[in-house]
Amino acid sequence: MPLMRKLSPRQLFRLSLLSLLWCPTLNADNLTSLGQRPDWDSLDAYQQTITRAAFVSQLDVLYAPGQAWQETITIEDQHALIRTREGEAPYRLEFAPSEAAAMPPPRRWRKPAEALVPDAELPLTGWHIALDPGHIGGAYGPMEGRSWRIGAGPLVQEGDLVLVVAYDLKEELEALGATVTLVREQNAPITTETPESLRDEAESWLRRMGNTEPSPLQIQRTAERLFYRSSEIRARAERVNKRIHPDLILCLHLNATDFADYSNPEPVEPNHLHLLVNGAYSAQELAYDDVRYGMLIKLLSGTAEVEAAVASELAETMAEQTGLPAFSYGGPNAVAIAGEPYVWGRNLAANRLYACPVVFLEPYVANSRAVYPRIATELEAEQMPIPGGILEEYTHSVVDGLRASASQARASKE
């Protein structure tokens, strides 16, 4: 810093302007909020692990349909050129010449057929499943927008209810031999950040998004979203990828839909079920370096095969046991999975950042005419889940789906 001290403020100002002109790539990172700059060289581990046909087909069908990938990835005969940091050379990924010659991709997780112990007494022995109860709940429910009440009824919070399901599910799955880890064990955040500690980040994010004069309320709301969504999911991903190392993650949610009138909320009509696998990245999302890198890691590590197989079995048992119809997305943010009316592909922070197969469960519309009375009964009981109640139904439908998934995996190995 000695040079700086000798300069007047005017000289410093000129210097900062000059540095902008001299170094056009100075701020060339294009990252999402709290996103990390990718280590593109780490893709070296995936050289020659996939054929050209398989790579293109996965992009077109699942990860980036509608040619969303074409602005950032160029496909040549024997390799793909992937945009890296702005102003830097593209990353060159060599294709495997054939399926038979493809190298196995590196991964820490195991496919069900690899994880499950053959001839074990209990059907899920060997499988390490992490359960991620969605949202934070507790005191954070209102901030997350996952907290509501109808009239004088009980307070309904998605984060609280799915944590009950997670504990119940853990017990049931362990009784079948699985190793089960909860990503969140209480209604409290995993991240050590707070909305207060993220205020500067929120303000600079708003400015980057073109809001040159953000109001204090806009900054507060953005800081809260950075806290309960971006920072919290990143902290969970850190825990999953560095400490838990599961073979599969189930993200547990309970859907709800907008009330017609929030000043006088009344139960709504729609009630449905859907499951999510990772996919449907848009061109705008892929323009972010960290998102593009995240998608490539998902694609190259081969999580899609397991996500599809597990989601298919879970969809069947969950649809059968809940009796719910399939939810349908209308917009381009989701891609339909062929032959699976209940399963959709979406790019969410959690199913992109968790480095293993991830399936999101979105059963029930909690504020619907059919479901709300059952939820209220749970909440008014002395202890959740109540026998024969909706949370137990949720748990059992998942347990049976995983059992079916395990027997399908065992059958495929024979």
Residues that bind Zn ion (CB under 5 A): 134, 253
Nearer residue to Zn ion within complex by CB, 186 or 204: 186
Shortest Å distance, C-beta 244 to Zn ion? 20
> Judged by CB, which is closer to Zn ion: 268, or 296?
268
Whole-number minimum distance, CB 1 to Zn ion, in Å? Answer: 48
Nearer to Zn ion, 253 or 272 (CB): 253
**Minimal distance, residue 151 CB to Zn ion, in Å:** 23
Specify whether the CB–CB gap between 84 and 91 falls below 8 A: yes
Cis peptide bond N-terminal to 387, omega within 30 = no
Residue number, 157 or 397, with CB nearest to Zn ion: 157
Q: Which is nearer to Zn ion, 134 or 214 (CB)?
A: 134
3-class state of residue 256 by DSSP: coil
Q: How far is the CB of 135 from Zn ion (least distance, A)?
A: 6
CB of 4 to Zn ion, least distance (A): 49
Provide the pairing of β-strand 128-133 with 248-252.
parallel
- Residue 314 Cβ, how far from Zn ion at the closest point, in Å? 16
Both tokens assigned to 116 = 């499950």
CB of 189 to Zn ion, least distance (A): 15
Give whichever of 110 and 253 is closer to Zn ion, judged by the CB atom: 253
CB closest to Zn ion, residue no: 253
**Whole-number minimum distance, CB 141 to Zn ion, in Å?**
11
Nearest to Zn ion of 112, 134 (CB atom): 134
Confirm if 239 and 130 have CB atoms less than 8 A apart: no
Per-residue CA distances from 372 to 131, 143, 270, 367, 377 (Å): 24, 22, 12, 5, 9
Nearer to Zn ion, 288 or 342 (CB): 342
CB of 134 to Zn ion, least distance (A): 4
Of the pair 256, 319, the CB lying nearest Zn ion is at 256
Q: Treating both helix axes as pointing N-terminal to C-terminal, what angle do 158-175 and 390-413 enclose, rounded to 10 degrees?
A: 40
